[in-house]
Homo-oligomer: A and B are copies of this chain.
Amino acid sequence: MLDEMDVKILKVLQQDTTRAVADIGKEVGLSTTPCWRRIQKLEEAGVIQRRVALLEPTKVNAGVTVFVQIKTDQHSLEWLEKFHAAVVDFEEVVEFYRMSGDIDYLLRVVVPDIAAYDAFYKKLIGRIEIAKVSSTFAMEQIKYTTALPLDFVLEDAQHSKRT
């Protein structure tokens, strides 16, 4: 489905969407029109999901990341749906995964400080019954990127056939 040229374009757009189509074309070795058409197709195909602004966490008072590991004893469908909906609703929760292994769920929570995390924690356990919660604070964010690895796109022939 995607070829090397698409990958080049996606690599640029994953880093910066402010650049003009003509500019991107120059970088990847394509003139404006075909470059523009490829971007359109990538959007229609849903490969490009959305274009967003990334903010500097410390400048919006959201510089502290906490990872919350959750273990539950409840496994009814009803509880599950309620739990998911409740957690998703918190804007402090920026990532939320159902995990394999020992821990059932993993949350990445973003707050201004420890006090705010405590407030979040109380809100969370107030709304839902959880068996075990364990919070770990990030001391430093060494890397954070929204850019997905693109070296796998072309590698796997099986994948191309599937999609």
User: How many residues from A make CB contacts under 8 Å with B?
Assistant: 70
Check A53 against B55 for contact (C-beta < 8 Å). no
A73 CB-CB contact with B under 8 Å: no
Chain B residues with Cβ below 8 Å from A112 are 152, 155-156, 159
Contacts A138-B97, A142-B88, A142-B96: A47 and B51 contacting too (C-beta < 8 A)? no
Check B57 against A48 for contact (C-beta < 8 Å). no
Check B52 against A15 for contact (C-beta < 8 Å). yes
* Complex Cα–Cα for A149 and B111 (A): 8
A98 CB-CB contact with B under 8 Å: yes
Chain B residues with Cβ below 8 Å from A111 are 149, 152
Chain B residues with Cβ below 8 Å from A149 are 62, 91-92, 94, 110-111
A103 CB-CB contact with B under 8 Å: yes
Check B17 against A46 for contact (C-beta < 8 Å). no
Question: Could you tell me the distance in whole angstroms from the C-beta of A5 to the nearest C-beta in chain B?
Answer: 14
Question: Could you tell me the distance in whole angstroms from the C-beta of A122 to the nearest C-beta in chain B?
Answer: 16
Q: Interface on A for B, CB 8 Å cutoff?
A: 2, 10, 13-18, 45-57, 59-62, 65, 67, 84, 87-88, 91-103, 106, 110-112, 116, 136-153, 155-156, 159, 163
